[in-house]
Amino acid sequence: MLLIYVALIAFQIWAILDCWRQRSRKLWVLAVLFFGPFGALAYVVSELLRGRRFGELPAAEPVRRDVRIDELEALLISNPAPGLFVELGDLHVHRGDHRSAADAYGRSLETDPDSLYARYHLGLSLAAQDRQAEAVEELSKVHTADMKYDYGAAAEALADALLAAGRDREALEQYAAVAGSSTRARPKFHWGLLLDKMGQQAEAARVMQEIVDQEDSVPAYLRPGESPWIERARRYLDGWPSETLLGAHSERGPGTQGHAT
């Protein structure tokens, strides 16, 4: 008897909660409260007669298109201006659609091949699709034209693409160049890790020690971005295997070998 009583109470509670979620069914809450399990049963029968199927997962909401994207696509039919393609690419990036973004930046470059902005963001969109060889080609052109483009971020993006493409030697040289003009820990860490991979453990340890030594001089506003890389460098020096130092919270890294402790 106790189990039946508990089941009936649970049935009523479920019915009340379901009525509350279905905002247009709130009056049924009173029916369940006044008539108990009979009110709950009446509610279920009423819903079934309306065609409702209990237990079905709610249909996924359709992805809403950006109104500006529609406007730009209409404009570009009669006015294929490179600036409009760039704006379209930026909107696609914001939505996470890197394939469409790459297409838009590429169309912009057909008319304005000297646009470093379009070429740089084309390279980033290609890298986001794991089209690393193509990303290296585009980012190399940006780097050749302006080695400090986007305050050095383009140079580091090129190093990342080289690394992801398996071109370790070139990536090492690129990270070393970036680290030589920046105090940021991330490019130095990847430089050190590649040195380790190539058997230069003493030089790798020197680079990692530099990262750890600069911890106290990092401004407070930069610490959230720098601290994870400083901690990885410290772990390297503590003897952690190199392959454990690039985890889920870091960007794509090389398949590294463990270093000597």
3-state helix, strand, coil in the chain (%, to 5): 75, 0, 25
pLDDT tens readout for residues 106-136: 999 999 999 999 999 999 999 999 999 999 9
Of 8-12, 47-51, 167-171, where does the model show the most confidence?
A: 167-171
This model's pTM is above 0.75: no
Region of residue 116 (left: phi > 0; alpha: psi -120 to 50; beta: else): alpha
Tell me the two tokens of residue 140.
Answer: 């190399």
- Domain ranges, ordered by start, for the chain: 8-49, 69-182, 185-249+256-261
pLDDT tens readout for residues 136-150: 999 999 999 999 999
3-class secondary structure per residue, 5-68: HHHHHHHHHHHHHHHHHCHHHCHHHHHHHHHCHHHHHHHHHHHHHCCCCCCCCCCCCCCCCCHH
Inform me whether the pLDDT recorded for 20 exceeds 70. Answer: no
How many Å apart are CA 193 and CA 228, to the nearest integer? 15
Class (C level, CATH) for 69-182? mainly alpha
- Give the rounded percent of residues in the chain with a pLDDT score beyond 70: 83
What is the pLDDT confidence band of residue 187, given thresholds at 50, 70 and 90?
very high
User: What is the CB neighbour count within 10 angstroms for residue 157?
Assistant: 24
